[in-house]
Every structure is written in C-alpha cells, then in structure tokens.
Amino acid sequence: MTNERTAGSDRARDELFSAVYEGRDDTVVALLRSGVPAEATDRDGQSALYAAAVSDEPGAVRVLLAAGADPERASGADGGDLPLCGAACGGHTEVVVTLLAAGARPDRREAYGFTALAWAVGQGHADTVEALLAHGADPDLPGPGGGARDGEPPLVTAARRGSPSTVRALLRHGAGAREEALAEARRWTAPEAVEHELHAELLPVAGGGGGGG
C-alpha cells in the first residue's frame, strides 16, 4: 500500500510539472486541490514555483503562490536557484512583478552571487530592470564577484552590453559609477546612443564645460 501511495504521489507531482510547463493553469489548480503540495519539487530538486517562473507562466505562479508556495524558497540540485532570478534572467517581467508583490526580496543573491537585477541587466531586459528598480532594487549593488569584473556596478554592465534602454532605466533610478560606465561605453563598440545617454547625464555634473571630458 505504501508503494502504491508513493507511486501515485510521484505521478501527481510529475503531472503538476507538466501542467506548469504547458500552461495548463486549470490542471495546476485541480492538482493542488487534490493534495499535491504547492512546494512540490521534481527529481532534480527544482520547485514548481521556480519551474513556472523560468517558463514565463504568470498564471501558474499566481496559483502556486496562492496555494502557499514561498516566493523566496531556493531550489535546484544545490539549492541555489531563486524564482525571482530565474524570471529576471529570462526577462519575464510579469512574473517578476508577481513574485515581488508576494514578498520576494529584489536584492537577494542566489548561487555565485547573482541578483535578479544583475541577471536582467546582463541580458538587456530593460522592462524587467525597470520593474526591479521600481520595487526597490539597489541600482548600485555590484554584480557577482570573481575575475576581472569583480563587483561591477550595474551601469557599467549595461554600458558594455550596449543597451540604451537599460542604461536609461538605471540612470532614472540614480545609478552611480557614471564616469566608469561612460569609459566602458567608449572602450567597447557599443552603440553611440549609450555614450550619448551617459554623456548627457554627466555634462551638468561637470558644469557643461568643453574640456577634456
């Protein structure tokens, strides 16, 4: 009897993950009501909420949160993957906003020191960057350490990537390291628009002079 219950539980869990990946929100609801836990994990230790977050399934995310899933719970084989970071990496802004509204901390670091903002900036997801900043993410919190770019400010990362919209979002929220970011934009073959955005911000600070800047 115990083996039968275990097999049935495993099948229900697998069905939950299939429903999440396929966007079958009604099935997710039915499975949760039948007793499948909202904190269910797959064979790799990945939570259902994380699976919904990285798959850009905001409906499933809301259902799982309403059923008691913890928006801050890390998952994965090493327990280092955060739902907010997974959603931010993919530019899934609606999911990001839903998780933040449920209590996910915008500046929490996952494995290897990444924050949701670091992922979104690095991938050039300007809308997601804006959402994170609007919910209190620190625009100057350095990215993950290690290597030549240890602790790099988000604005510098955005300048290197050549994403004017991401640069604008960070500047609107008071990001620092502007001189460093401008130098980075000039060093790389970034679009002139990035240099223009940063230069326009720095001219008033420098007094508008036409010196060596």
| pLDDT, tens only, 84-120 | 999 999 999 999 999 999 999 999 999 889 999 999 9
Which pLDDT belongs to residue 210?
A: 43
Which pLDDT belongs to residue 29?
A: 97
Which pLDDT belongs to residue 161?
A: 87
Residues 136-148 as b or e (16 or more Cβ within 10 Å = b): ebbbeebbbeeee
pTM above 0.95?
A: no
Which pLDDT belongs to residue 143?
A: 84
Which pLDDT belongs to residue 11?
A: 92
Would you state the structure tokens that stand for residue 164, as one six-digit string? 């004017």
Which pLDDT belongs to residue 9?
A: 83
The segments of the chain whose pLDDT lies below 70 read: 1-8, 145-150, 188-195, 197, 203-213
**Arch. (CATH architecture) of 8-104:** Alpha Horseshoe (1.25)
Kindly give, in sequence order, each residue whose CB lies less than 8 Å from that of residue 83, ignoring residues fewer than 6 positions away.
Answer: 47, 49, 50, 52, 53, 54, 61, 71, 73, 75, 99, 104
